[in-house]
Structure 1
């Protein structure tokens, strides 16, 4: 639904992460929200850890699942488990560590995500950097993406915790506000939906600093399975609130849902959400489908946002 007065259009995102090759539960299994089919959307975002160990057979399964999803655009990044998508890492460490030096064909892997079959299915594989997209509904958005996270158990796409990949002197820094609408990273920023089962906050301080400077509408990630959830941060007031969800509604709707578009009609005094204010607020979403025991029990997230018309 477009608003001519303000030149915005309501756009729906479905967000998943850390699928680790898990197939959707059957459509009649109403004890799981992550079931067939994924909810319809304008844009599907996958924040990495597509697979368990980057085998071609795993990618085949996930490309097939994403191809069937009802979304115009399906944006995918890798995560630390997708070892064959980090080619320098794989040749140096991953082939020996994960595949006993037998090796997967890296050209085949990349073709699966960037070739004609993926393009026809609306799948766009992003590496670290900035891209702009225009949708059929007229919405235009610019996204910053990065599969990297602080070094973790000698897995793929690592950087040292004291290294700053995201700010002024980095190779691919996150641009300042208002250039970015969406940030899609595999790892979380520090202190935001990043707490492990041991109670440790393991997100990246440099990423938090960059996102505070960038102030996107939406920042999606995963990596920390037990951090699943969503948080709305008001940068002006310096406060954050968790987005409440109801378990039965998640099961019924196959997702956790939040409407931050103008047609939400929310009155904060009544406990209802109002439209998100770009430049003042960011919605953070940890969309890990797997729980800490690697069971696909978490729900996808569905988010309605207003985007500018191209």
Structure 2
């Protein structure tokens, strides 16, 4: 359930200007923090261990030895390059090799065919003819969230794939994205998106802010999840915080599609009366 709708920011199409006005002038908080859980830290019975990755771009099999165990594996999209059937089958095989009891996935802009509403005329030329309609049905070794919520160990997780990069799957113009963010329920613990919010892990090519301001407003003024996990911007992995929500850019690959980063881990305490099976 959502308690209110976020109105679109009038300057939503100019994220660079908004970043300067809000973050450089310290009207909004964005503090980089160290990893919350180290790889060698044991998995506790009274906490749920989340292992976060994103943007593996057909490299998941190579990454497998570097992924630590946990209770929930999260992948925030771009696990393929074109969404073709062979890429999906390879990803499904690789993720099936991981021991995590729960594997939660959202699609990214490269998962062509997943987005039934995509305008194929607008697709970038090099990707035309690629993709697998209803390709998510091939992913039998994980749970795919598309504007949906799942509850695990009493922890509510919502996943949505929309972003403002034209020519790809799940594209929406910046002044329309708020319509998708308004679908996000209030009472969730973890939000998964492919795109970052404005100001958190969203600096592309060291010069352009690519995050979405209406997503940031939705998080800060309404949803206020404990964690927001995303990817999309490969050069900005890590964790930032506004003091309420921890923002996790879990991108693995560089823009040359080489494995560059390790998974990011965090724990959430079990709610009273609940236990891991």
1:52–1:192: structure 2 CA closer, same or farther, 3 Å change rule? Answer: same
Report deviation, 1:173: 2.3
How large is the Cα RMSD of the aligned pairs? 2.2
1:290–1:175: structure 2 CA closer, same or farther, 3 Å change rule? Answer: same
Output the CA distance in 2 between the equivalents of 1:47 and 1:171. 16
1:51-98 alpha-carbon deviations (Å, 9 max, x no partner): 111111111111111111111110000010111211332755559752
Output the CA distance in 1 between the equivalents of 2:167 and 2:270. 39
Greater RCO, CA 8 A, separation 6+: 2
Kept in 1, the 8 Å contact 2:146–2:161? The answer is: yes
The within-5 A match list for 1:1-310 is: 1=44, 9-25=46-62, 34-36=63-65, 38-89=67-118, 92-94=121-123, 97-99=126-128, 101=129, 105-107=132-134, 109-113=135-139, 118=140, 121=141, 123-129=142-148, 131-134=149-152, 139-150=153-164, 152-165=165-178, 172-176=182-186, 179-212=187-220, 213-234=222-243, 281-309=244-272, 310=274
Where has structure 1 moved over 4 Å in runs of 4 or more? 90-97
Q: Name the SS for the 1:220 alignment partner.
A: strand
The structure whose Rg is larger is: 1
Kept in 2, the 8 Å contact 1:37–1:69? The answer is: no
Output the CA distance in 1 between the equivalents of 2:216 and 2:70. 28
Q: What TM-score, normalized by structure 1, do the two folds share?
A: 0.68
User: More strand by proportion, 1 or 2?
Assistant: 1
Report deviation, 1:207: 0.2
1:104–1:183: structure 2 CA closer, same or farther, 3 Å change rule? Answer: closer
Q: What TM-score, normalized by structure 2, do the two folds share?
A: 0.76
Q: Name the SS for the 1:225 alignment partner.
A: coil
Kept in 2, the 8 Å contact 1:228–1:298? The answer is: yes
Output the CA distance in 1 between the equivalents of 2:160 and 2:101. 22
